[in-house]
Structure 1
Amino acid sequence: MGETTKLSVEKALNRLRKADASPKSKAARRDEEMNALDEETKRMRAQRLRLERRPKPPSS
């Protein structure tokens, strides 16, 4: 029989954790990015509306 290589406990746990952590699909990442951009757009619109409502200082 061939020799079996032994892993340290830490390496074995890391391999198990890596296998459990399923990578996100491209679509899921894209959805997250789109949601973040939508939130940023909403924030910027609200800020613009607040700025437009402020009375402008009289010009001299």
Structure 2
Amino acid sequence: MASKTGGFPTLDDKLCFALYSSSLAMLQTYKPAMAAVGLTYPQYLVMLVLWEGDGVST
């Protein structure tokens, strides 16, 4: 892939950077809601798995 820096890839050229920055943006979006119930995002994901597993609706 041609880049702006004479053959060396930049962060804009990397899919992994786009995915990483998108992930951070999503985590920041969820952070206030998770803080309100005292959970981190990974803890929230575990809670979702547990809720799905026991058949109890939210």
TM-score w.r.t. structure 2 length?
0.38
Q: Which has the larger radius of gyration?
A: 1
